[in-house]
Amino acid sequence: MRQAGKFYGIGVGPGDPELMTLKAVRTIRDCDVIVLPVSNRELTEPLLLEQNEMENRAAGYLESCTAYQIAVQTVSELKEKQILFLPMPMIKDKEKLRKIHTRGAEVIEQLLEKGWNLAFLTLGDPTVYSTCMYIEQMIERDGYQVETVSGIPSFCEAAARLNQPLGEQEEQIHILPGSYEAGEGLQLSGTKILMKTGKKMGQIKEFLQGSSQDICLVENCGMDDERIVRSVEEISEDAGYYSLLIVKDRKR
């Protein structure tokens, strides 16, 4: 009887391909199929393709997958791998998302039953606001082997780019999902990290006006078009999806 394959949730880091871990690189090379999330709502069913089938719509999916574009710069073998595209629309309807994730898990399990190992690539670290973990937990509950390969989180790299600590001594660190209501969280003491703040930037900016806290925005951290802003006034309300805010209590 053929042994089922293994599913890996792999963090490729925040943007700079040199920040990928050695374990992530090795695991991607060893896997048979690469799993990529697709936010484009045109894709409604999981789609498995060989590299020579990447034309038209599928080629666009590859180009728009940030995690793939990071990893392929370090792992040239990615260009030879089969790709499983999974629908992952950016919606908040939990019931619809559950059905989408369930369907994705079903298709992945069919491939695992063939003895194939699969690698789901995700930006940053899989354990921080990643859709990868929803799929991984479903697969694990169904009895398949899974492993999470950690990646450098965007907020750690952003702090490094700013040459500043996120936490010192008794200082607390709070990680907040910027795409949801973050007003109450911004009132917490210590360091507040708002991730993926793009669509709510206008609301967040209004909340921070007149604040006595130190505020830094890092957009597209580690990527070619990285941008750093150090004041509320300079923050654009149409900041991109990969916009991260670090808000710290000002030292006295």
pLDDT digits (tens), the chain, 252 positions: 458 999 999 999 999 999 999 999 999 999 999 999 998 888 899 999 877 777 666 778 888 899 999 999 999 999 999 999 999 988 888 899 999 999 999 999 999 999 999 999 999 999 999 989 999 999 999 999 999 999 999 999 999 999 999 999 889 999 988 766 667 788 888 999 998 776 677 778 887 887 788 889 898 888 888 889 888 888 887 777 788 899 998 776
Same domain, 23 and 132: yes
Residues 126, 38: one domain? yes
Q: Are residues 189 and 223 in the same domain?
A: yes
The residue from 149, 172, 197 where one domain ends is: 149
Give the dihedral sign, CA 152/155/158/160. negative
Q: Is the pTM of this model over 0.95?
A: no
Number of domains in the chain: 2
223: domain CATH number? Answer: 3.30.950.10
For 10, the domain range is 6-149
CA distances from 136 to 73, 83, 93, 140, 176 (A): 25, 17, 20, 6, 22
Tell me the C-alpha to C-alpha distance, in Å, between residue 174 and each of 110, 195, 249.
Answer: 39, 11, 12
- C-alpha 110/C-alpha 84 separation (Å) is 12
Whether residue 111 is found in the same domain as residue 183: no
Domain membership flag for residue 1:
no
